[in-house]
A and B are shown apart, each in its own frame.
Chain A
Amino acid sequence: MESKRVFYAGVVSNQEIAPHIMKIVLSVGEEAAKARPGQFINIYPKSERLILPRPISICDADTAARTLTLIYDIVGAGTEELSRAVEGDRIRITSPLGNGFRIPDPDSRVILTGGGIGIAPMYFAARYMAETHHKVTAVLGFRKDTFMTKEFRELGCRVLVTTDKPAEDAFLGNVVDCMTINAINADCYMACGPRPMLEAVSKYVVTADEKADIQVSMEERMGCGYGACVCCVTDVKAERADGTESTERLKVCKDGPVFDGRKVVW
């Protein structure tokens, strides 16, 4: 019955990799082997002022080192507190939560699209598929400062970088413009980022290819982060028993965060 744990992880390192963007490595024991791309963990802040957990997606898992890597943006009091953690600190977290990406067959061509901090789970997906020799293209969108692009290249991915403001070696514009101009197509698309980006990517895929799979990792303001409070919901198309279409209001934390981009009601 009890399949998930709340426990203390040890901080291995915690450093800034771009302005306001931090990378933390946590020692988590056997939980590392359970993590799948697209899953997240809840981090329980130390401050009593901060009541709710901070859900943060998993950027990588190292089974041998028994660690999880997270990349997070300092956006509020919770992530600010987390940014002050140093090596040797203990942080209270959960086991990996939520449903991750479905990994396609190794002969599939895959496009990973990440927007801003949404790049973090896409790295885990890319690393996972690098091991199985998938053909992966990563389209990474940033406002201005880029991060993790080198790490994606080191996995052997084709990497396209886009920025909102002019930057070196980057396409000026958004990820969908970049995909359109490069006439990108694949059998399977996976995306994580702001909702408007996920909507645009889903529509791009729907127009480009009737059969292509599009999986989007959604973000929504969460309460408990484990499915009890029903605060983080999104509408998804469903089918009634008689074949007619209906919508279901699903929990992002428990039923997602990864959903079929064709079924999300944008």
Chain B
Amino acid sequence: MAKLDERAKTLGIDLSVNLAGIRLSNPILPASGTFMPEESGQFYDISELGAAVTKGVAPVPWAGNETPRIAEVYGGILNSVGLQNPGVDAYIENDMKYLADMGMKIITNVAGHSVEDYVQVVEKLADRDEISMFEVNISCPNVSAGGMSFGTDPEMAAEVVRAVRRLTRKPLFFKLTPNVTDITEIAKAVEAEGADGVTLINTLLGMHIDVKRRRATMARKVGGMSGPAVKPVALRMVWQVANAVKIPVIGVGGISTGTDVVEFLAAGATAVEVGTAALADPLAIPRIKSELIDYMNENRFEKISEMKHAFEI
């Protein structure tokens, strides 16, 4: 048992959650693309995580975008990595094996330029006992083909769900983009086709201009914004979606403290993901988890699930 889980236990606190039938030791997960098993594990014991959420895995290696891929903005960052990844075969040999050997629960994030891409990855991994569930990224703002376009149209989102649903019995989560008029429409569309849950929000499309060099700061001109400044937007959308669908919601967007986690749980999330905070501070995840335990202890919560009902929202 990880140290912080043990500390919670001695305080009479049960951090575990049931996410679409999968029991997680606690609700704190890393956001896809901000976590690497070995690199993150240099700084903290990654078994503190409820599960590992991998970087997006595509059927073949993707080179991603040109650099600069990152810019600092007020209250957050912009990134345009473009889902650089070594492809599903290398994923099986390296990260998946590494995480499985550590006894970690694995949520494999799936990336695609086309429906066929998503199908190929899920097909290849569907029977892998090492993987607990999939999180299908239909919301990346940093790729030109596919990516976010699937997540901005309810019919296209439904098409991806239909295509991968028949391939696996493992829980399928779909990661949604906030760059839409009404995110609940997309959430309802994926629920109707058999999604087991939704993760939201992916990054908000943004831009930064370098006035000294007189050009866009990012090579791709635009990028996805994340960090503390997007939290109110993410929280609002999680609350809207949690009230619009029956499937569980993973809340993500700007979480930097234990009470941020509490807010997302209060808004209806079953689990949360931490991204930018872990880039800004490699120890953010254990700190946030520790702060969550402190909050529960001080406010006499014994179970995570109690929180959803303890707030009048």
Check B70 against A222 for contact (C-beta < 8 Å).
yes
Most buried by B among A3, A51, A52, A232: A51
Q: How many of chain B's residues touch chain A, expressed as a range?
A: 35 or more
Segment 1-25 of A: residues with Cβ below 8 Å from B? 1-6
Check A229 against B70 for contact (C-beta < 8 Å).
yes
Q: Does A231 contact B (CB under 8 A)?
A: yes
Q: Does B177 contact A (CB under 8 A)?
A: no
Smallest beta-carbon distance B270→chain A, Å: 25
Segment 185-231 of A: residues with Cβ below 8 Å from B? 220-224, 226-231
* A53, B69: Cα distance in complex, Å: 15
Q: Which residues of A contact B (CB under 8 A)?
A: 1-6, 44, 49-53, 94, 220-224, 226-234, 249, 254
Interface contacts beyond A231-B81, A232-B67: sample of 7 additional A-B pairs, CB < 8 Å, sorted by A: A53-B280, A223-B279, A226-B43, A227-B38, A228-B282, A230-B69, A254-B39
* A232, B72: Cα distance in complex, Å: 14
Smallest beta-carbon distance B170→chain A, Å: 25
The answer to whether A51 and B36 touch (CB under 8 A), given A223-B70, A249-B64, is no
Using Cβ atoms and an 8 Å threshold, which residues of chain A touch B44? 2
Using Cβ atoms and an 8 Å threshold, which residues of chain B touch A233? 64, 67, 69, 84
Q: Mark B23-49, 1 if CB is under 8 A from A, else 0.
A: 000000000011110111111110000
Check B281 against A228 for contact (C-beta < 8 Å).
no
Check A228 against B279 for contact (C-beta < 8 Å).
yes
* A1, B101: Cα distance in complex, Å: 13
Smallest beta-carbon distance A13→chain B, Å: 26
Q: What are 30 A-B interface contacts by the 8 Å CB criterion?
A: A1-B42, A2-B42, A2-B43, A3-B42, A4-B42, A6-B282, A44-B280, A44-B281, A49-B75, A50-B72, A51-B72, A51-B75, A52-B70, A52-B72, A52-B77, A52-B279, A53-B280, A220-B67, A221-B69, A223-B69, A223-B77, A226-B40, A227-B36, A228-B39, A229-B33, A229-B79, A230-B84, A232-B69, A232-B70, A234-B67
Residue of B nearest to A247 (CB): B63
Smallest beta-carbon distance A92→chain B, Å: 8
Residue of A nearest to B279 (CB): A224
Q: Which residues of B contact A (CB under 8 A)?
A: 33-36, 38-45, 55, 63-64, 67-72, 74-77, 79, 81, 84, 227-228, 276, 278-283
Residue of B nearest to A92 (CB): B281
Check A231 against B39 for contact (C-beta < 8 Å).
no
Smallest beta-carbon distance A39→chain B, Å: 14
Smallest beta-carbon distance B48→chain A, Å: 11
Using Cβ atoms and an 8 Å threshold, which residues of chain B touch A6? 43, 281-283
Using Cβ atoms and an 8 Å threshold, which residues of chain B touch A94? 282
Check B70 against A228 for contact (C-beta < 8 Å).
no
Smallest beta-carbon distance A214→chain B, Å: 22
* A223, B64: Cα distance in complex, Å: 15
Using Cβ atoms and an 8 Å threshold, which residues of chain B touch A229? 33-34, 70, 79, 81, 279
